[in-house]
Structure 1
Amino acid sequence: MLQRILLITILILTVLSCTKTTRDVDLKSPSIIPAPQSLQVNDGYFTFHENTSFRFDPEFPMAGKFLLDHFDKMGFDELNDYNDKEDNYIYLKFNEEINSTEGYRMKIDPERILIHASTDAGAFYAVQSLIQLFPILNDKDEIHLPALIIEDEPRFKYRGMHLDVSRHMFPVAFIKKYIDAMSMLKMNNFHWHLTDDQGWRIEIKQYPKLQEVAAYRDSTLLGHYNDTPHKYNTTRYGGYYTQDEVREVIAFAKARHINIIPEIELPGHAQAAIAAYPELGCTKEDVNVATEWGVFDNIYCPNPETFEFLENVLDEVAALFPSPYIHIGGDEAPKTQWKQSATAQRFIKENGLKDEYELQSYFIKHFEKYLASKGKKIIGWDEILEGGLAKDATVMSWRGMQGAIDAAKKGNDVIMTPTSHCYFDYYQSDNENEPLAIGGFLPLEKVYRFNPIPNELSGEKITHVLGVQGNVWTEYMPTTDQVEYMAFPRMLALSEVAWSPAEKRDYNLFVNNLEVMLPRLDAMDIKYANHLYEIEGNLNEDQEYELSTKTLGKEIRYTTDGTEPNTNSTIYESPIPFKENMIVKAQVFDNAQPLGRLFSQEFFYHKGVGATITINHPPHKSYSGSGANGLINGIVGSDTRYGDKEWLGFWGDDLEIEIDFETEISVNQIILRFNDSNGQWIYAPKEVWFYPKEFLPSIHQVPLRYSENNILEQEIPFNNQEMKGIKIKIPNYGIIPDGAQGAGNKAWTFIDEIIIK
C-alpha cells in the first residue's frame, strides 16, 4: 500500500513538473518574411541547446556554413556532429524529390529539425526561414522553437533589388550589408547601377580617364531639382570601385545565392564618360561630369570610337561578372544631338534606318549580339522597345506595365519594376517632415498590394514575367542611413510580392509579422522607416472621415479642434462627420503611451463638397489619388507631394470636368490648383476654360497668377453668379520641349482640389 501511494505521488509530481515546464516555455508564433507557401503549426516544440547536433549534406556547402556561422554568432560555436543515434539534431538533407530548385521542406518536431532540399539555394532559403524562428538576441542556454511543417518555394524566379551608386556612392561594407539584407528576404538578384551622367563607378583598366575624370564631379546640387535658383555643394565628389573590390562583393553575394547584374548605361546617361573621352560624343566638345540630376543631351555618338570603347568596356565587365545578364540601360536617351549631328545622320542613312529611334534600337541590337558572343544576355529599360526590340532582350518595365505587356506579347522576358509600386526613392508617408525625396508617393501597403501579372497577359505569355524588382535611385540619398530609410521596410513588402503565392498574401498578417521583424532590423543596424503606428484617413461616401491603423491591439485618440490628442481625448470608434471646417489630429496609443507620429488633416468645407463630378478621362492608374470625388472632397493635397491621395495625374490627356450641384447655388469664386514640377515631366496647362451649365459666355483664363513650391493656383471670380453646375476644360500642356527633362514625351497634368466659394 505504501509503495502504491509512493508511486502515485511520484506520478503526480512528474505531471506537475511537466506541466510547469511546459507552462514556462514561451513559444512565439512563427513569423517569417516573406511568408512561406505553406506553414502548419503542430503541438510541441524543439529545444535547441549546446548539445544539439548539426549536420548538412555535402550538396549544401554554402547553406550549411551560413547556418553554422549564425550559431556561432549566437554563442553556440561547438555544436556536435550529428549521428544516426542522436535524437536532438538539425539536419540539412539532400532530397532530389524536391522539384523546385529554390524550394525546400522543413519539419520541426520535439526530436529534430529536418530540412529537405535538392539544391544549395533551396537549403539556404530554408536556413533563412529557420533563422527567423530563432530569437534575435540570445541570452538563454535553451531555445524553444514551435513544432511545424513548412512547404515552400518562390512564386517568381527573379526577385531583385537595385541600387544606384552613380549619383551617390557607398562603401563596399554597405553594399555587402545591403546584399545581406536581401538574402534574408530570399531575394536573388542585385542590380548594381554603376554608370550615369553624374559619375562612373567601376574601374576599367583600358580607360584610366574613367577613374581620373568620369568618376568625379566638381559640385553637387543641393535641395530639390525643382527648387529655384539652384544651389550647390562645391566640394569635389566621387570615387569608384576597383575590380578587386567588385570581385570581393561578387564573392560575398555568391555565398548568399545572389547574382549581381551590372548596369553600363548606353546610349544615354553617358555624360560622365564623354567628359573623360569627348570623342565619344557628337559635338566633340569638352563637357563636365553632370552636377545636377535629370536627363542630358550628351549621349554616345554612333562613330567607330564609340563602338570600340563600349565593346572594350563590356569585355572587362563581362569577364568580371559571372552574371548571365548585363544591363545596358537604354532609357532616357534624348535625340537632340543625333538630329543635329552630321555623323549620326550619315550613320542613319548608311544603315538604312528610318529615324533616331531606330538608331537607338541599332545600339541595343548591336550590343545584344556583341554580348551574346560573350555568353551574356542583355536587360534594358522599357525604352529599348522604341524603334524595334532586340530578339533576346529582357525588358525592365518602369514607365508603367505597358512596356512589359508589349514585350511579353512579342515573346521577350520581362521584369516588373513600375514607378507606381517599385520606386523606393518616392515618399513613403505624407507626413510633412519626411526627408527630401524626388517626389511621388509609395506607401508600404501599395508596394505590398502590387500584382506583377497584368490582366492583359494570359496563357504562356505570363511565363515571360520573370519577376519583380525594387529600385533605389539615390539623387536625394547622400548617406547610407537615408538609403536604408527609403529601402526598408518597403523591401520586405516587395520580397513577399516576389516570393509568396498571391492567394497566401495578407497585408494585416504581414504588418503583424513586420512588427516582430523590426527588432531584427535593429539588431542588423538598419535605419528603417517606421510608419507602422501611423494613422490613415479616408473620407467615405457619406462625407464622414474614417481613421485606421494597421497594427492590432492599439487605440486611436483624436481631436477636431486642432489641439494635440492625449490620454483624455476621444477614443476613435466611428467615422467623424465632416459638415464644417475642422482640423483632425490623432495618434495611436498603447497602454496610454503615444506611438508613431502625430496625424493631422485639415478640412475646408466649400460649396463643391458633396456635389456630383465626372471627368472625361480616368486618372492614370499610377496616380489615381482619391478618384474624381477627391477633387471636391474638401481636402487640399500636399504642396510638395504630387503623388499623395489628393492629386490626380493624367498623362497627355485633355480634360473635361463637369460638376453638378444638387440645387442652384451662388458662386463667388473658383480656385484651381495645378502642379508644375517640370523636372518630373509635370506641366501646368497653358490655359483653362470655364463653361457654366447655363451656357453663359465662357470665361477663358491662364492659370499663372500665383506660384509657390511648384504649385500654380488660379482664382477665377464669378461675382455670386447663380448656377446649377460648371464645366471646366483643361488642355494638356503638350509635348515636353527639347532641352527639358523628358523631352519628346507627353507632359503630365496634375490637378488638386477644386475649391468653390
Structure 2
Amino acid sequence: MRSNIFFKLVILLCIVSCTKPEPSITPFILPTPSFDGVSNEDFVFDKNVSLHTDFELRSAANFANDFFEEKLGYKLPYDSKPNGNLLQFIFDESIENEEGYELKVDISLITIKAKTAKGAFYAFQSLRQFFPATVENKTFPHKTILLKCALIKDAPRFVYRGMHLDVSRHFFSVEFIKKYIDMMAMLKMNTFHWHLTDDQGWRIEIKQYPELQKVAAYRDETLIGHYNEEPQQFDGKKYGGFYTQEEVAAIVKYATERFVTVIPEIEMPGHSQAAIAAYPNLGCTGKPTKVATKWGVFEDIYCPTAETFTFLENVLDEVMPLFPGKYIHIGGDEAPKTRWKACEHCQALIKKEKLKDEYGLQSYFIARIEKYINSKGKQIIGWDEILEGGLAPNATVMSWRGTEGAVEAAKAGHNVILTPTSHAYFDYYQSDNDAEPLAIGGYLPLEKVYNFNPIPKELNEEEAKHVLGAQGNLWTEYISTSEQAEYMVFPRIIAMAEVVWSNPTKRDYQQKDYQHFTYRLSLFHKRLDAQNVNYANHLYEIEGEITKQNEQLVFDLQTTIKDKTIRYTTDESSPTITSEVYNGTLPIEGSTVLKAAVFNEKEKLGRDFTLTFNNHKAVGATITLDPTPSKAYPGSGKEGLINGVSGSSKRYGDKEWLGFSGKDVTIKIDLGKPTTISSISTRFYNASGQWIHAPEEIGFSFINDEDGRTLNRIALISKSDATLIPYTLQIEELTTQYIEIFIPNYGVIPDGLQGAGHKAWTFLDEIVVK
C-alpha cells in the first residue's frame, strides 16, 4: 500500500515538472535594436493567446501565425475581444521609418506597432528571439512558454541590406535557396542578389533560347583543388543544372512573403562564355567554345553586334517579369578587351560612335542595355567596372574593388552599395587555422566584418545619402555543397546584418562592442543548431602574435570570449586540461613552437592554435617600409616582416603576408649595431589566378657605419609555377648595420593570364637574417 502511494506521488511530481514552464530567456536580439529594455516579468504564451491584426499588417500577422502552427503545433485564434492574453498587430502611421517598428511585451499583452507590414514582420523576427531556441526545431518540451516582458523600438540604418549567392560556379537546390532566404529574413536582410549566369554555367531557363538549357547550363568537368595548383586537374564529370521559370517564380514568391527582394544578375558583356558556348555568334570570333571548366576571367565576351543586343533584350524580356523588384543586375565586371581589340566590327563601332577606346565601348554597351531596361520600368545595378569609360546615366554602382568606386559614383550623384573584398567577401578564409576548408584566398575574420562602416570617410553628409547600404557576397568556386555554403556564410552574415541594420550609436566600432556581439552570438548558436545551420564556430579560437614588453619579446595571446582559460605547451604537444595556464605574459627565450587552446573547467573548447617563433638577427630591429602595404592585406605591418613568424604556406591573406598592389617595394633594416651576417632569406607568394606574381629579381645593399662601405647585389629569382617562391641570398660573412632590400614589381600581367593588362600584386613573407 505504501509503495503504491509512493508510485502515485512520483507520477504526480513528474506531471507537475513536465507541465511547469521553463524560465523565460533574456532576449539578446540580433541584429541589435536601436532601443531595448527588459523587465523581470513574463508573458504567458500558449494556444489560449488570441491574435488581432489591423488590416494593413495582416500579411505579417499571418506569417507569425503560420510560424506558430509549424513550430508549436497550433494557430492562435483571431479575436478582437479576447478573454485572455493577446498578441496584436497595430498599424501606426506615426512611425517614421517604413521598416521600423515598436515591440512591447507586457504581462497580458504583446503589441507590435508598425507603419507597414514589412516593419511588423521585422518586429516579429525580434519577438521570435524571445522564444527558446528549441522552438525552431519543434523540440520544446512544454506547452506553455514564458516570454520576458520588454520594450523595443527599432528601425534600420540602411534601406539596402543584402546577401549574394553565386549559383553559376556551383548549383544549389530550390530547397537550399529557400533556407538561405529564411535565414536572411530572420536577420532582417531585405535583398537577395542571385548570381545566375557566368562562364561556368547559365542557371535560368530562357524559353526562346533552348540551347542555354541544353548547352550553357552544363560543363564537361570541374577543376579539382585550387586554381593555383600545378598541374591543374579535373574530375572528368559533367556538371550543371538550371532553374525553370516556374521554380524561379516560386522562389521569388517565397522571398516576397518574407519581405526579401530578389535581384537577378545576368552578366554582360564579360563572364559570358557559357552563353557563347550555346550560341557562338554572340562572340567576336564566331568560333565554337565550351562552357568554362575552371575558374577565372575569360577572353570570350559578348560582341556588341545587333544580334547580341537582340539576344540580350529577348533574354531580359523573359527575366524581368519574373522579378517584381526595380533592379536588374547586369554585372559589367572583369570584361577583357582582347577580343574587342582584334574585332573589325568593334573597331568600326568605336569610330562610328566616336568612342575613345574599348573602355568607351564597354560604357556604350552598358548604356544601351540600361536604356532598354529603363524602358521596361527597371533600373540597373553593375559592379564598379561600369564606371570605366563613363557611367550609364541612371546606374547604381556596387563597389567591390575597395571603396573607391563608391566614392566616385556617390560624388557624381549615383546611388551605391558597398561590398568591398576587404569586408564583404565571404568566400575568403575566416580563420588562420590550417584545418579550414579550401577557399579562394584572402582573409576575412568575423571581427573585420563586424567593424565595417559602409560610409566611406571621403564622403560628406550629402554625398553619403547615396550609400544605400551594403551586401555580403558568396562566390562559390570552392563551395560545392549547401553545408559548406552555410559554413562560409555563418556567422559572418550575422555581423553584416548588424552592420547594415543597427544604429551606429549602438555600435561605435570598439572592441568592447565586438565582445558583446560575440557573447550574443554564442547564445544565438543554439538557434542556429536548432535550425540545422552548419555555421563556423571560431569563438573559442586564439589570436596570437609576438610583441615586446620592456625590451623582452613575449607571446601575446587573446580570445574573443574572455571568461575562458588558455592553456599552452612549448614542447610541440597538444595542450590538455592539465597544461600550463597562460596568465597574460609568456616571455620568449629563443626559437619556440607554442601550442595553445581555450578550455573551460572540464574540456577543450576550440581547436589548437600554433605559433612558431624562429629567432634570427633581424628580430626586434628597426625597419622602414616604402610604400605601406595595401589596406586590404596589411599583415602585421612592417614589423611583421621581422617578427620571427612566417606566414601560412597555404594562403596569402593571413597576418604575416604583406601585399603590395602594383608597386615597387623598398625595405630598410637597421640592426642597431654592426653585425656579422651570412644569409638573407624570404618567400614570395605566386598565384597567377589572384593576379599575384613573384618578382624576377631583388636588389640588396649593405652598409657598415664604421667604414661607410656599401656592397650592392642584384639577385635573380628562379621563377616557377609553384605557389611559394623561396629565395635565399648566401653571403660570405659580412659585417653590416644596415640592410636595404629593393623589390621591383613584376609589372603588367601579360595577355592570356588572369588580370591581363593590370599591374601584378607582390606578396612578401618574413625576412630572415642569419
Asked if TM exceeds 0.5, the reply is yes
- Once residues 292 and 30 of structure 1 are traced to their aligned partners in structure 2, the CA distance between those partners, rounded to angstroms, is 46
In the other structure, the counterpart of 2:624 is: 614
Displacement of 1:78 after TM fit? Answer: 4.0
Are positions 1:470 and 2:477 aligned together?
Answer: no
- Aligned counterpart for 1:310 among listed residues 301, 309, 312: 312
Are positions 1:91 and 2:104 aligned together?
Answer: no
Displacement of 1:288 after TM fit? Answer: 0.5
In the other structure, the counterpart of 1:511 is: 518
In the other structure, the counterpart of 1:277 is: 279
- Once residues 539 and 132 of structure 2 are traced to their aligned partners in structure 1, the CA distance between those partners, rounded to angstroms, is 21
Are positions 1:599 and 2:609 aligned together?
Answer: yes
Displacement of 1:708 after TM fit? Answer: 8.3
SS of alignment partner, residue 426 of structure 1: coil
- Aligned counterpart for 2:715 among listed residues 682, 695, 701: 701
Query: Could you tell me which amino acid in structure 1 is paired with residue 635 of structure 2?
Result: G
- TM-score, normalised by the number of residues in structure 1: 0.95
Are positions 1:525 and 2:535 aligned together?
Answer: no
In the other structure, the counterpart of 2:560 is: 550
Could you tell me whether the CA contact under 8 Å between 2:46 and 2:145 is conserved in 1?
yes
Q: Deviations over 1:67-101 (max 9, x none)?
A: 11221133251423343454521111111111100
Could you tell me whether the CA contact under 8 Å between 2:24 and 2:145 is conserved in 1?
no
Displacement of 1:725 after TM fit? Answer: 1.4
Q: Which deviates further from its counterpart, 472-481 or 87-96?
A: 87-96
Q: Deviations over 1:201-259 (max 9, x none)?
A: 00111111111111111111111101111111111111111100000000000000000
- Once residues 75 and 177 of structure 2 are traced to their aligned partners in structure 1, the CA distance between those partners, rounded to angstroms, is 31
- Once residues 85 and 293 of structure 1 are traced to their aligned partners in structure 2, the CA distance between those partners, rounded to angstroms, is 61
Are positions 1:560 and 2:574 aligned together?
Answer: no
Are positions 1:39 and 2:41 aligned together?
Answer: no
Q: Which deviates further from its counterpart, 530-539 or 321-330?
A: 530-539
Q: Which deviates further from its counterpart, 619-628 or 499-508?
A: 499-508
Could you tell me whether the CA contact under 8 Å between 1:512 and 1:552 is conserved in 2?
no
Could you tell me whether the CA contact under 8 Å between 1:560 and 1:583 is conserved in 2?
yes
Aligned residue runs from structure 1 range 485-500, under 5 A: 485-500=487-502
- TM-score, normalised by the number of residues in structure 2: 0.94
Displacement of 1:24 after TM fit? Answer: 8.7
Are positions 1:135 and 2:132 aligned together?
Answer: yes
- Once residues 598 and 289 of structure 1 are traced to their aligned partners in structure 2, the CA distance between those partners, rounded to angstroms, is 42
- Once residues 158 and 749 of structure 2 are traced to their aligned partners in structure 1, the CA distance between those partners, rounded to angstroms, is 37
Aligned residue runs from structure 1 range 371-450, under 5 A: 371-450=373-452
In the other structure, the counterpart of 1:9 is: none
Q: Deviations over 1:602-661 (max 9, x none)?
A: 111111110011111111111111111000001100011101011111111111111111
SS of alignment partner, residue 59 of structure 1: helix
Are positions 1:535 and 2:542 aligned together?
Answer: yes
- Once residues 547 and 53 of structure 2 are traced to their aligned partners in structure 1, the CA distance between those partners, rounded to angstroms, is 56
In the other structure, the counterpart of 2:741 is: 728
In the other structure, the counterpart of 1:48 is: 45
Displacement of 1:509 after TM fit? Answer: 1.2
Q: Deviations over 1:512-535 (max 9, x none)?
A: 111111121122111111111111
Could you tell me whether the CA contact under 8 Å between 1:267 and 1:333 is conserved in 2?
yes
SS of alignment partner, residue 249 of structure 1: helix
- Once residues 661 and 379 of structure 2 are traced to their aligned partners in structure 1, the CA distance between those partners, rounded to angstroms, is 33
Are positions 1:636 and 2:646 aligned together?
Answer: yes
Are positions 1:77 and 2:91 aligned together?
Answer: no
SS of alignment partner, residue 378 of structure 1: strand
Could you tell me whether the CA contact under 8 Å between 2:686 and 2:721 is conserved in 1?
no
In the other structure, the counterpart of 1:658 is: 668
Displacement of 1:561 after TM fit? Answer: 2.0
In the other structure, the counterpart of 1:671 is: 681
Could you tell me whether the CA contact under 8 Å between 2:50 and 2:82 is conserved in 1?
no
- Once residues 31 and 216 of structure 1 are traced to their aligned partners in structure 2, the CA distance between those partners, rounded to angstroms, is 45
In the other structure, the counterpart of 1:163 is: 165
- Once residues 405 and 75 of structure 2 are traced to their aligned partners in structure 1, the CA distance between those partners, rounded to angstroms, is 54
Query: Could you tell me which amino acid in structure 1 is paired with residue 340 of structure 2?
Result: W
In the other structure, the counterpart of 1:745 is: 758
In the other structure, the counterpart of 1:186 is: 188
Query: Could you tell me which amino acid in structure 2 is paired with residue 242 of structure 1?
Result: T
- Once residues 347 and 294 of structure 1 are traced to their aligned partners in structure 2, the CA distance between those partners, rounded to angstroms, is 28
Displacement of 1:709 after TM fit? Answer: 5.2
SS of alignment partner, residue 632 of structure 2: helix
Query: Could you tell me which amino acid in structure 2 is paired with residue 679 of structure 1?
Result: G
Could you tell me whether the CA contact under 8 Å between 2:66 and 2:75 is conserved in 1?
no
SS of alignment partner, residue 496 of structure 2: helix
Q: Which deviates further from its counterpart, 71-80 or 617-626?
A: 71-80
Query: Could you tell me which amino acid in structure 2 is paired with residue 578 of structure 1?
Result: I
- Once residues 53 and 749 of structure 2 are traced to their aligned partners in structure 1, the CA distance between those partners, rounded to angstroms, is 60
In the other structure, the counterpart of 1:578 is: 588
In the other structure, the counterpart of 1:257 is: 259
Displacement of 1:579 after TM fit? Answer: 3.2
Are positions 1:348 and 2:331 aligned together?
Answer: no
Displacement of 1:572 after TM fit? Answer: 1.4
Query: Could you tell me which amino acid in structure 1 is paired with residue 694 of structure 2?
Result: A
- Once residues 254 and 240 of structure 1 are traced to their aligned partners in structure 2, the CA distance between those partners, rounded to angstroms, is 21
Could you tell me whether the CA contact under 8 Å between 2:219 and 2:291 is conserved in 1?
yes
Are positions 1:692 and 2:721 aligned together?
Answer: no
In the other structure, the counterpart of 2:246 is: 244
- Structure 1 unmatched ranges of 5 or more: 1-19
In the other structure, the counterpart of 2:633 is: 623
In the other structure, the counterpart of 2:7 is: none
Q: Deviations over 1:445-497 (max 9, x none)?
A: 11111111111011210011110101100111111111111111111111111
- Once residues 374 and 22 of structure 2 are traced to their aligned partners in structure 1, the CA distance between those partners, rounded to angstroms, is 58
- Aligned counterpart for 1:195 among listed residues 190, 194, 197: 197
- Once residues 494 and 309 of structure 2 are traced to their aligned partners in structure 1, the CA distance between those partners, rounded to angstroms, is 40
Could you tell me whether the CA contact under 8 Å between 1:219 and 1:236 is conserved in 2?
yes
Query: Could you tell me which amino acid in structure 2 is paired with residue 698 of structure 1?
Result: N
- Once residues 356 and 284 of structure 2 are traced to their aligned partners in structure 1, the CA distance between those partners, rounded to angstroms, is 19
- Once residues 334 and 292 of structure 1 are traced to their aligned partners in structure 2, the CA distance between those partners, rounded to angstroms, is 17
Aligned length: 735
- Once residues 467 and 587 of structure 2 are traced to their aligned partners in structure 1, the CA distance between those partners, rounded to angstroms, is 45
Are positions 1:756 and 2:757 aligned together?
Answer: no
Displacement of 1:275 after TM fit? Answer: 0.5
Distance 1:271 1:78, change over 3 A: closer
In the other structure, the counterpart of 1:116 is: 113
SS of alignment partner, residue 192 of structure 1: strand
- Once residues 83 and 760 of structure 2 are traced to their aligned partners in structure 1, the CA distance between those partners, rounded to angstroms, is 70
In the other structure, the counterpart of 2:225 is: 223
- Aligned counterpart for 2:54 among listed residues 48, 52, 57: 57
- Once residues 131 and 301 of structure 2 are traced to their aligned partners in structure 1, the CA distance between those partners, rounded to angstroms, is 52
Could you tell me whether the CA contact under 8 Å between 1:62 and 1:256 is conserved in 2?
no
Displacement of 1:318 after TM fit? Answer: 1.1
- Once residues 71 and 223 of structure 2 are traced to their aligned partners in structure 1, the CA distance between those partners, rounded to angstroms, is 45
Displacement of 1:538 after TM fit? Answer: 2.6
Q: Deviations over 1:13-51 (max 9, x none)?
A: xxxxxxx9xx99633222211111111122422121222
Are positions 1:714 and 2:727 aligned together?
Answer: yes
- Once residues 150 and 419 of structure 1 are traced to their aligned partners in structure 2, the CA distance between those partners, rounded to angstroms, is 34
CA RMSD of aligned residues (A): 1.5
SS of alignment partner, residue 129 of structure 2: helix
Displacement of 1:570 after TM fit? Answer: 1.1
Could you tell me whether the CA contact under 8 Å between 2:21 and 2:142 is conserved in 1?
no
